[in-house]
């Protein structure tokens, strides 16, 4: 069974209007999904009102900054993405410990967008605990 392609849109979270039209800015397709995944990872489960969506990976950032913690972190991030982001499949997560950068982790996330004939998408960001 073939999967139909669709366009994905999300609004930006800064809520700044377009200076010409006055409409909220929109993220489309790959950028919308990338932002959604990053928000899922970086938002705690109790940060949003009336919602349990989010992750508890922030709690791991105060443990040891090593390969073992990185493996646990990668499994948790993959689970969160599989649970709350149905627009992607074939998710791969790498959590590279960076003890030299405030005990943070370099997160590399790769995935395939459902219904799109695109190459595997990937992006990286630094995940660090807040104090």
**DSSP at 61:** G
Does the reported pTM lie above 0.85? no
Average pLDDT score, the chain: 80
Tell me what pLDDT residue 75 has: 93
pLDDT (tens digit, 9 = 90+) per residue, 30-75? 888 888 888 888 877 766 666 677 777 777 777 678 888 889 999 9
Beta-carbon contacts of 72 under 8 Å, excluding residues fewer than 6 positions away, are 60
Domains of the chain, first to last: 9-127 (3.10.450.40)
| Cα–Cα dist 107/115, whole Å | 25
Q: Please report which residue ranges of the chain form alpha helices under DSSP H.
A: 29-42, 67-84
């Amino acid at each position: 069974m073939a999967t139909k392609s669709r366009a994905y849109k999300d609004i930006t979270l800064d809520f700044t209007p377009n200076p010409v039209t006055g409409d909220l800015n929109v993220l489309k397709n790959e950028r919308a999904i990338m932002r959604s995944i990053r928000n899922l990872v970086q938002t705690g489960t109790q940060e949003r009102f009336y919602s349990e969506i989010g992750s508890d990976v922030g709690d791991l950032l105060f443990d040891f900054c090593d390969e073992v913690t990185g493996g646990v972190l990668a499994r948790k991030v993959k689970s969160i993405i599989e649970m709350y982001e149905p627009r992607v499949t074939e998710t791969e997560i790498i959590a590279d410990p960076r003890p030299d950068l405030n005990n943070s982790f370099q997160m590399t996330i790769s995935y395939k967008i459902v219904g799109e004939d695109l190459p595997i998408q990937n992006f990286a960001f630094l995940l660090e605990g807040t104090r």
